[in-house]
Structure 1
Amino acid sequence: MGIEAWYMDTSDEDQRQPHKLKPNQPVSLETLKNLGVIHWKLNADIYDDDPELQLIRKEQGYSYMDIITVEKNTLPNYEEMLKVFYQEHIHLDDEIRYILDGQAYFDVRDKEDRWIRIAMRKGDLITLPAGIYHRFTLDETLLVSTELH
Structure 2
Amino acid sequence: MRAYYFDNLPGDQRLQHDSGTSVDLADLRKLGVLHWTIPLDSPGGWESEIDRIALEQGYKNRDTINVTKEGLGDQYESKIKTFFEEHMHEDEEIRYTLSGSGFFDVRDHPSDKWIRIHCQPGDLLVVPAGIYHRFTLDELNQIKALRLFKEEPKWTPYARSSETESNAYRVQYINSLKAATVV
Answer 1 or 2: which has greater helix percent: 2
| Fold shared by both chains (TM-score > 0.5) | yes
Native 8 Å contact 1:44 1:101 kept in 2? no
Structure 1 unmatched runs, 5+: none
Cα deviation, residue 146, structure 1: 1.6
Deviates more, 1:48-57 or 1:138-147: 48-57
* 3-state DSSP of counterpart to 2:101: strand
Q: How far 1:45 moved relative to its partner? A: 5.3
1:39 aligns to what?
Answer: 35
Name the counterpart of 1:6.
4
Residue identity matched to 1:134: H
AA partner of residue 89 (structure 2): H
SS of structure 1 residue aligned to 2:29: helix
Distance 2:45 2:92 in 1: 22
**1:49 positional shift:** 6.5
Q: CA separation in 2, counterparts of 1:49 and 1:139?
A: 24
Structure 1, residues 39-75: CA drift from partner, whole Å, max 9, x if none? 0111335898722111101011111111111111111
How many residue pairs get aligned? The number is 145
Tell me what 1:113 maps to. 112
Which amino acid in the other structure matches residue 93 of structure 2?
E
Task: Structure 2 unaligned segments of length 5 or more: list them.
Answer: 150-183
Q: Which has the larger radius of gyration?
A: 2
TM-score with structure 2 setting the length = 0.75
Structure of higher RCO (CA pairs closer than 8 Å, 6+ residues apart): 1
**Paired AA for residue 61 in structure 1:** G
**Does 1:50 pair with 2:50?**
no
Distance in 2 of aligned mates of 1:74 and 1:94: 24
Identity of aligned residues (%): 46
Q: Give 1:82-97 correspondences, 5 Å limit.
A: 82-97=80-95
CA displacement at 1:15 relative to structure 2? 0.3
Supply the AA of the counterpart residue of 1:128.
V
- C-alpha distance in structure 2 between counterparts of 1:34 and 1:100, whole Å: 26
**Equivalent residues of 1:43, 1:50 under 8 A apart:** no
Aligned-partner Cα distance in 1 for 2:79–2:46: 30
Aligned partners of 1:102 and 1:140: how far apart in 2?
10
Task: Determine the structure 1 residue equivalent to 2:122.
Answer: 123
With over 3 angstroms needed to count, the CA separation of the structure-2 counterparts of 1:101 and 1:10, relative to structure 1, is same
Taking structure 1 as the reference length, the TM-score comes to 0.92
Cα RMSD for the two superposed structures = 1.6
Given the alignment of the two structures, is residue 61 of structure 1 paired with residue 58 of structure 2, yes or no? yes
